[in-house]
Structure 1
């Protein structure tokens, strides 16, 4: 590259390396996102080549139709169970960060559910939660707790908690490993200084461990809440949104609206609403967690 300066050569190398990934990013991410936003203002049916511009009508339909926006209430159990899941994950991480005999075995066993296929997990729990032949009802009957036997996937009041508990079982070990890695990065000198100052175990956890986990808690809560708002696989495989739509989630409703009722314009608007609500909720979460970390 004889007459080209070093600065020009550097720019050519940078452009050469960045051209392909940036092109793919624009084609596969930004262009579809812009197209989705534009379609949300139309009545496109997904088949015809033309669509009519209807402005904000799709968004008005979402917020005024309880059958659409109201399904977010079905996802509250996922958020609640997700928060409990993170609390339990922190407790297990603290326990397994100590000099517990066989701690590596327990770490592997708790992490194992995460590497299992999501659909396989759903089908497995279909047998666990089955009303007549399920292992959970069988266990309750064997220990004399017949009064607690339920139709776990057929009872409208508990079906979402049943589905959320599957996510608890699958993702708790994953969150635990992340917290465990964060705990191992905290200098041991800080704990020794706290013990010298007379801090007990609970005070050490509250005033030393948790503040040092603030950023990791923020990350895991981001994953938990965004996952709770975009639940799809469990209700789709196990209940198809039943009974009587009690387990239907907003994402499941969006996909049904698009591919079953061919209303891609409304489905696009629902996707935008889901994205905006996720960003707003996570922003509030970050403010709360950061305030706790600063304190």
Structure 2
């Protein structure tokens, strides 16, 4: 490295430090913070403070009713990690985890097709998104009748002469989680479909025209134009799918109550909190679930980084 130091550089730094700095009026400086007060207050009230309280409860022994809380430190976490049966229910989440890939694949497929000129595409858009608008409890009771013996599914199979495929869809432990995961795919595919559709429709149409002139077919256009352009949305939906598969609650709770091997980690946490009156242990389970979701999210963001704008 040269020992020569140019006298221009110190003068430039000094001039930069002594430059006149424009001071914004006080109203311009506080206006953005005034707009942020309400959302930040709501975020703190309904997110940060409950999370802190949940962590505090996880360090106590509490039945959830009385005002007396006994400080036990990390005993709830020790009990949680020394009882394998409390974590065994995470295997149920694997059914929903793999089903989420089917869900994302179907949503991306339909979004790609319906983003272009297709006959009755508005009708198909409404049909695909409609299940997401229905209340989860209503969907649970609907599919409870759909899967029951002699219900809609068995009647449909019998109509086509496929009685040999009739099963105890919600009574057989080997089949029940496939049935529940399939219900979740039907319920949440509409959300991912809308996210993908909006991202695909924001792509500049001239890119397709240029690719067509170069001889690119539909698959090549999807691979080299659509997929790279919607990568941030794909990353978001992947995070939502993973966190959703780990925290499944609504569908299995309404349809089976966790019976026949369909109990999830969240259903187990609810049982410990409100049936066994072990709110401290249930809070520890909730904290562990939150930590797992955050860790998975960070790993996913590291593996699939977002593209930086030019």
Residue aligning to 2:171: 154
In the alignment of these two chains, the number of paired residues is: 286
For residues 204-228 of structure 1, what are the alpha-carbon distances to aligned partners after superposition, in whole Å with 9 as ceiling and x for unaligned? 2122211111111111122222222
1:100 shift after superposition? 1.3
Q: Which runs of 5+ in 2 are unaligned?
A: 1-23
| 1:261 equivalenced with 2:276 (yes/no) | yes
2:232 and 2:306 in contact (8 A); partners too: no
1:185 to 202, 209, 212: 202
2:290 to 259, 275, 278: 275
Specify the SS of the correspondent of 1:290.
coil
Residue aligning to 1:64: 82
1:136 to 126, 131, 153: 153
Specify the SS of the correspondent of 1:163.
helix
1:102 to 109, 120, 133: 120
1:229 to 214, 235, 246: 246
| TM-score using structure 2 length | 0.85
1:49 to 67, 70, 95: 67
1:35 shift after superposition? 1.5
Specify the SS of the correspondent of 1:265.
helix
2:169 and 2:179 in contact (8 A); partners too: yes
The separation in 1 between residues aligned to 2:132 and 2:39, in whole angstroms, is: 30
Name the CA shift for 1:31/1:124 in 2 (closer, same or farther; >3 Å).
same
1:50 shift after superposition? 2.5
Name the CA shift for 1:34/1:101 in 2 (closer, same or farther; >3 Å).
same
Equivalent runs, 1:71-220 vs 2, <5 Å: 71-131=89-149, 133-220=150-237
RMSD: 2.3
The separation in 2 between residues aligned to 1:47 and 1:83, in whole angstroms, is: 41
Q: Which runs of 5+ in 1 are unaligned?
A: 1-5
Name the CA shift for 1:17/1:285 in 2 (closer, same or farther; >3 Å).
closer
Bigger shift: 230-239 or 197-206? 197-206
Residue aligning to 2:9: none
Q: Which has the larger radius of gyration?
A: 2
Residue aligning to 1:251: 266
1:77 and 1:161 in contact (8 A); partners too: yes
The separation in 2 between residues aligned to 1:27 and 1:292, in whole angstroms, is: 33
1:89 and 1:175 in contact (8 A); partners too: yes
